[in-house]
Amino acid sequence: MNSEKIIETTKLTKAFGSFKAVNEITFDVKKGEIFGFLGANGAGKSTAMKMLTGLLSPTSGEATVAGFDVFTQQEKIKKNIGYMSQKFSLYDDLSLLENIKFFGGIYGLSKEQLNERGTAMIERLGLSDVSHKLLKEVPLGWKQKIAFSVATLHQPKIVFLDEPTGGVDPITRRQFWEMIYEAADNDTTVFVTTHYMDEAEYCNRISMMVDGRIAGYGSPKELKADFKSENMDEVFVKIARGENYKLQ
Ligand SMILES: Nc1ncnc2c1ncn2[C@@H]1O[C@H](COP(=O)(O)OP(=O)(O)OP(=O)(O)O)[C@@H](O)[C@H]1O
């Protein structure tokens, strides 16, 4: 990780009528960082993420993603990012390798790149022997790994992961996080939402949202010190209860 900012927001806001789903959030993400974006249900994470991925126009404030403006350069942003959602939209009736190639094609990779990177990816995942299996035949944990591979095959500058490990067991989650570390080691910035507080500990820095605003921001170590907590679970509970913090 270096000190170059790859995402930067200033008072970024999204209002639906008079309701501010995201209310003046200011934060930055550094290149190669694993940045955790946390908050209770309805705190405004998805709305913020949609603005940062060029899917939703902000109401006010400022933000750049990979150097591009979220108000005016949304198409350029989309070309420079990868995205994986909890409800990953891979095809159940395609094989693992076919899914990788199909979605890699959508991201604009050539046939040669798809063959080369798709096969290398499958090998790295240890799934070579089963690459012909249909997606519907494999466990959830494998699907998530494939979805992550698809989101990073075009080697984006930033990958956005929306609750990528929902519903899988701790060992599979741990393996998934190894992929995240590997991507970050290769200078891909990782922006990840999660409800698992053990995963929050794996992030370099975190922002925690409450009611559209940022209520906690810093490394896990800093947040534990700020909130006089032993672990991130405790930090989260204190923030969710509205204890001990100043909203941004
Ligand atoms: N299009 C919309 N119109 C009106 N209100 C909306 C719209 N989208 C989201 N909201 C509201 O904005 C608030 C924040 O929603 P958002 O989905 O961003 O939260 P979240 O933190 O991602 O929650 P979750 O973890 O449940 O996905 C919620 O109160 C939601 O009902």
Kindly indicate the confidence band of residue 162, based on its pLDDT and cuts at 50, 70 and 90.
Answer: very high
pLDDT in tens, 191-236: 999 888 889 999 999 999 999 999 999 999 999 999 999 999 999 9
- Ligand 1 atom nearest the C-alpha of 195 is 25
DSSP single-letter state for residue 230: S
pLDDT in tens, 4-18: 999 999 999 999 999
Distances (CA, A) of 61 to 30, 179, 218: 20, 33, 21
pLDDT above 80 (res 109): yes
Partners of residue 90 on adjacent β-strands: none
pLDDT above 80 (res 247): no
Q: Does residue 136 fall inside a structural domain?
A: no
- CA 230 to ligand 1 center in whole angstroms: 30
**Residue with the nearest Cα to atom 26 of ligand 1?**
41
- CA 46 to ligand 1 center in whole angstroms: 7
Q: Which pLDDT value is given to residue 142?
A: 86
CA distance 34 to 45: 16
pLDDT in tens, 118-138: 999 899 888 899 999 999 999
Q: Which pLDDT value is given to residue 203?
A: 96
* Helix or strand run (H / E) with residue 217: strand 213-218
pLDDT above 90 (res 241): no
CA distance 110 to 52: 27
Q: Does residue 184 fall inside a structural domain?
A: yes
Our count of domains for the chain comes to 1
pLDDT above 90 (res 244): no
Q: Does residue 113 fall inside a structural domain?
A: no
Q: Does residue 112 fall inside a structural domain?
A: no
Q: Provide the residue type at 184 as one letter.
A: A
SS (H, E, C) 5-56: EEEEEEEEEEEECCEEEEEEEEEEEECCCEEEEEECCCCCHHHHHHHHCCCC
pLDDT above 80 (res 242): no
CATH number of the domain enclosing 219: 3.40.50.300
pLDDT above 90 (res 170): no
- Ligand 1 atom nearest the C-alpha of 46 is 22
% pLDDT > 90, the chain: 61
Q: Does residue 63 fall inside a structural domain?
A: yes
